[in-house]
Amino acid sequence: CDWSSDVCSSDLQLESRGPVHRTFARFLAGRSDLLPSEYAATLAEVDAAIPPVAREEFAQGLIDTFGAFGETLSAGMAEAHAWSTLDRCAYLTQYDGQRVVVQMCRPPVSEAAFEDFRRTMRSLGDHRTPRATGPAALQQFKDWLYLANGVERERLYLEGLADFGGVQTEYPKLLPALCGGPFLGWSWAEGIALEDFLKERPIDGALAASECILEQLLLLSVVDADLDFSHLVRKSDGRVAVRRVSRLTAIPPQAAVPATRYISAVLSSDTRAAAHLLAKIASDEIDLEPSLTEKLSNLEPELKVNFRLTTTLFENNWRALASIHAARPLYLDFMHRNLLALSRWSADIHTASRDVVTEAYWSVLMRVLRKRFFDNASPENLGTSLFAGGMLMLEGMRQLAHLADGLRDDELSFRVAAGSTGPGETEESNRKVRKGIGVTVLLVTLLITLHWSGSAPAEYKVVAQVAAGCSAVALLWILLRMD
């Protein structure tokens, strides 16, 4: 039957055609750039679960890989699996007196199986879903699917995250004794599923989810291309823990700063700057900005329904880009998908005075500033300091430009405080403006004096070092006092 005969038929057909098709439904869920909104929402309900590796087979694999130690692990295995996808299967067990999860990497999908899937998808597409079933989308699905091939890539990402300090979110920490062959193992994160926490305390839950995703983008420069909120948990100490990540994708170094500025422009409702930065991120070889701006002017009236402006802008930009430039970086689509999901959570919270995504953005940005400052503020790391500080200087200058607009309009407030109505809230907004100006000035002074201390004649180095020290102390004092 035709895939578009009604919206529900799409998920029924994908569910019934096998594991690769169900995984494709999971890949498409939330992909507003490829499908009409009602299709994306329906596909999110598809049961993408894959039958697990049988417990006996999993236990035998542990024994074959780890010998006698594998027998000990298999003896404590839970009866039911922790998760089962096309590329991973995991069971809980006991190790060294603690609950751990051991994950097995499944064999990759063969080229022949994928070609069979590709042929069947050609017969399911129709005039409403040309992008979702077209060659570009199917190739992107293949690239996404093969990101999880083998354990080495996942191991490297998890080892890198373990070595990265200053991160609020807790990621799996590999236990070397549980890693070998197709297996990786780590401690099980105890806590309440973030999906359930969102229902109980929506604002706190949305803030926690937003900080987790924004921290990935702004601080770690990675995108979770297989984000599954059922595997995010809120621990008793208030931190968010990620129970599994198998498809982390790096944001290229040259795109990290423009990506941060793009998110900032959208959250500040600066549509012109957002379009310019998105075009820059999508392609350095083609000038996309004129066609993107033209497309946006046609899309916006069509999409501006029932969402807050932030959600509308992310979806407008994403759909407009997809309609004019199919060969965009893989991480860019999943960055948009994750940000759009967060924005919709924020829009669903019935508190008009709160924009939790923007609140989380400023919290994470301050964390980025502290991290970059302490790691790089030295003459020896001057180049890194300048690169890291440049992002924040640009953000500071952008906020100063908004401040100038506000002064011109006799409205001294940040855009993020647009909901302020009382005298107390106005004073708080003005206080943040003053601190923002102070941070920008001190950061510029610090970077200049650091550069001077490394290149100035010997008789002036002491002066430069003293000036750098004073700037650093003042900057630290302001940062520690900022909310």
Instruction: Note the pLDDT tens digit of each residue in 44-63.
Output: 777 777 899 999 999 999 99
pLDDT of 289 > 60? The answer is yes
> What pLDDT does 426 receive?
55
pTM of the entire predicted model: 0.73
> What pLDDT does 418 receive?
36
How sure is the predictor about 308, in pLDDT bands with cuts at 50, 70 and 90? low
> What pLDDT does 475 receive?
72
Instruction: Let me know: does 118 contact 138? Beta carbons within 8 Å.
Output: yes
Please compute the mean of the pLDDT values over residues 323-327 and round it to a whole number.
76
- According to DSSP, residue 180 is labeled B
323's tokens: 């309609």
Instruction: Let me know: does 13 contact 132? Beta carbons within 8 Å.
Output: no
Instruction: Let me know: does 25 contact 42? Beta carbons within 8 Å.
Output: no
24's tokens: 């494709």
Please compute the mean of the pLDDT values over residues 467-475 and round it to a whole number.
77
pLDDT above 90 covers a percentage of the chain that reads: 31
- Strand-by-strand arrangement of the 192-193 sheet: 192-193, 232-234, 240-242
Please compute the mean of the pLDDT values over residues 383-387 and round it to a whole number.
41
> What pLDDT does 84 receive?
94
How sure is the predictor about 376, in pLDDT bands with cuts at 50, 70 and 90? low
> What pLDDT does 384 receive?
40
pLDDT above 70 covers a percentage of the chain that reads: 72
Can you tell me the distance from the alpha carbon of 128 to that of 157, in angstroms, rounded to the nearest whole number?
A: 38
224's tokens: 């979770």
Least confident of 96-110, 263-277, 366-380, 397-411: 397-411
Instruction: Let me know: does 98 contact 187? Beta carbons within 8 Å.
Output: yes
Least confident of 276-285, 342-351, 384-393: 384-393
Please compute the mean of the pLDDT values over residues 394-419 and round it to a whole number.
42
Please compute the mean of the pLDDT values over residues 100-117 and round it to a whole number.
94
